[in-house]
Amino acid sequence: MLFRATGGVAAFVVMFAASSAARADEGMWTFDAFPTAKVKATYGWAPDQPWLDRVRASAVRLTGGCSASFVSGDGLMLTNHHCVQACVQEQSSADADYITNGFVARDRAKELQCARQQAEVVTAISDVTARVRAAIGQLTGPALVQARNGTIATIEASTCTDRETTRCEVVTLFGGGRYALYRYRKYSDVRLVWVPELAAAAFGGDPDNFSFPRYGIDAAFLRAYENGKPVATPQHLTWNARAPQPDEPTFVIGNPGRTLRLITADQRNVQRSLVLPFVVSFLSEYRGRLITARAQNAERFREGFEELASVENSYKALRGELQSLNDETFATMLDAQEAQLRSSKTARLGRGAGDDPWQAIARADRVYRDIFYDRGFLEQNAGFQSTLYGYAKTLVRAAAERDKPDAKRLPGYTQASLPLTEKQLLAAVPVYPWLEQLQLEFWLSKTREYLGADSPAVKRLLGRESPERLAAALVAGTKLADPAVRQALFTGGMAAIRASDDPLIRLVLANDATARAVRERYIAEVDAPISAAQARLTAVRFAAYGTDLYPDATFTLRISYGKVAGWTERGQPVPPTTRFAGLFDRATGQEPFRLATAIDRARSSLSPATTLDFVTTNDITGGNSGSPVVARDGSVIGAIFDGNLPSLGGTFGYDASVNRSVAVSTAAIEAALQTVYPAPALLAELHQS
């Protein structure tokens, strides 16, 4: 399954991003710059503006880090099973284990709320580059960042004044080369309609993840509500339960989360030699701890499912990225592209008022290396995956930030972003104490390991305690699992925070000055100079290659084009589609290759020839999970849920010969709804459209 776009695991590796001209099928294009001519030249046809407008209006961003699309007039959304796992996990209990058994809402009243999820549809895009640039002027350092973030906050707050139903977001593209204002219609009540059994959705589990041939029905349906009723979505994709045809053109509309294709060779070196080796090793140990802890009893096994699935997915994706950067051929190709640009006539443009942008970035990278662990453990990923620590940090920060004018607040606490922050903070979701303790213990012990037992910051966290004892005491003592307690602290503001004796609030307060200091150093010495240099690099690129370039992924709406096509691996052709017959062949009876119970039961009524999954050349990445695969006629024929192993290097560069996206076909979902998990009402709704 694809790397979701957000969350603590991913956050460690996010830097910025600021290529050469795109090759065939390459690119995650913004809707205001679709490469019509190129698509027409390649496929003999290209979408016109009404076509683009229609699919854009049907495309959904899920704030949990995924994509989706409306597929009925009543707010029904198609996405992936792994995009709703957290919700299914929250709604499950020993008596109602929807992870294992799947879930079908018998009627709309039985649809289950996903408390932390929000659906967002782009309604307008406008270029605000001039306004942000004017605010930045000749500023540098923290002043640059302050001016940039302040202007962004002001634009967002002043454009979307109705924050109940709209959200505004200024998106930084080309690492600061362009700024675009995205206006969204938002739906903050999202409910679960249907998921298959885990064994059907994730057949093959971690061994099959990021590989193909593949046999998973990684699909789910959600529904957007407003005022307790399904929202009317007249603009939606037509459900088309037919098999994909070899070489037919396909369009994927979704929200790719993060690519690093425009970073410099120096930045890639930081990833290859520091960031990725650290994260891969760090996640490995966490994975090991989780696997063993989860195996202790049936309850933990169920409760720990989503967390382990998520970490295994991230681990595999990031390990693939590291392998791609350690591949000499790939690395040499990327470096050569940069060398070509750097030696081009236009490179002098980059120097502009300042010095060489490549050198400026390399200088900033030296600071980035110096503060990498401090920033990671104390600020960016403080508390690691602990939900409770996250609550405490949000509460402490929200109290401080809400006392400031909007333009001076930290991102996430501005007027425009607070509604989602608040929704996620106050959502009533279960917390598993054993998991929280494991996460806090792991974070504290790794913080000590990487920063050193003698680090003053570590001493402020641990005092004379061990990570094991402190984690146990924090989980035993905190009351933050209770939404009412969080609500009171949120409402009470800084006075309530200061008066609180909650041990997690105290811990976050003890760490906060250090955390803010490393954040500020990062802003002044890394973010600001890289931002300025990347704006100059974008000018160089535009001058060298024209402005028909796509920016790096930013978890905002993009469209990619391509076709249904397999590839060649070690001299053997990999066909582009799989069928139910292949699933039956591959089943061993043991996890994760066990045939799902309901599929086994319905086996005789399933046609072995029905297409299950398929691959296309569309250029996608994590965050695209759940994206509709749209045919030329605008109908949906699948949902993206993964990439193949070679696509992991796609973070740094796209290779059309081997990079493939993996989708579950609407034909397979239709078969599942017909005979495996009978859902006649849902089918009727899909076909009504």
Q: Which residues bind a copy of itself (CB under 8 A)?
A: 204, 206-208, 269, 272-274, 277, 280-282, 284-293, 295-296, 319, 322, 326, 328, 438, 448-449, 452-453, 464-466, 468-469, 588-593
Residue (194 or 315) nearer to a copy of itself, CB: 315
Residue (280 or 583) nearer to a copy of itself, CB: 280
Residue (103 or 203) nearer to a copy of itself, CB: 203
Report CA-CA distances (Å) from 129 to 138, 154, 555. Answer: 15, 14, 19
Residue 305, classed as helix, strand or coil, is helix
SS (H, E, C) 326-384: CCHHHHHHHHHHHHHHHCCCCHHHHHCCCCCHHHHHHHHHHHHHHHHHHHHHHHHCCCC
User: What contacts 291, CB < 8 A, 6 or more positions away?
Assistant: 308
Q: Which tokens hold the place of 308?
A: 């382990």
Residue (326 or 547) nearer to a copy of itself, CB: 326
For the bound state, the minimum distance from the C-beta of residue 253 to a copy of itself, rounded and expressed in Å, comes to 32
Residue (43 or 443) nearer to a copy of itself, CB: 443
Q: Which helix (H) or strand (E) holds 278?
A: helix 276-294
The angle formed by the CA atoms of residues 365, 367 and 369, to the nearest 5 degrees, is 70
For the bound state, the minimum distance from the C-beta of residue 367 to a copy of itself, rounded and expressed in Å, comes to 16
Residue (121 or 201) nearer to a copy of itself, CB: 201
For the bound state, the minimum distance from the C-beta of residue 181 to a copy of itself, rounded and expressed in Å, comes to 41
d(CA 446, CA 440): 10
For the bound state, the minimum distance from the C-beta of residue 391 to a copy of itself, rounded and expressed in Å, comes to 24
User: What contacts 449, CB < 8 A, 6 or more positions away?
Assistant: none
Residue (126 or 297) nearer to a copy of itself, CB: 297
Residue (165 or 292) nearer to a copy of itself, CB: 292
User: What contacts 475, CB < 8 A, 6 or more positions away?
Assistant: 388, 433, 436, 437, 440
Residue (178 or 579) nearer to a copy of itself, CB: 579
Residue (463 or 546) nearer to a copy of itself, CB: 463
- Residue in the block written with tokens 């599929």: 599
CA proximity to 67, closest of 58, 57, 59: 59
Report CA-CA distances (Å) from 624 to 71, 380, 506. Answer: 17, 24, 38
For the bound state, the minimum distance from the C-beta of residue 411 to a copy of itself, rounded and expressed in Å, comes to 31
- Residue in the block written with tokens 């150093």: 521
Residue (378 or 673) nearer to a copy of itself, CB: 378
For the bound state, the minimum distance from the C-beta of residue 466 to a copy of itself, rounded and expressed in Å, comes to 4
Largest Cα–Cα separation, the chain: 71
User: What contacts 313, CB < 8 A, 6 or more positions away?
Assistant: 1, 2, 3, 4, 82, 206, 209
d(CA 470, CA 462): 7
E-strand ranges in 65-177 read 66-70, 76-79, 103-104, 112-113, 119-127, 166-173
d(CA 618, CA 42): 13
> Are 258 and 651 a contacting pair, CB within 8 Å?
yes
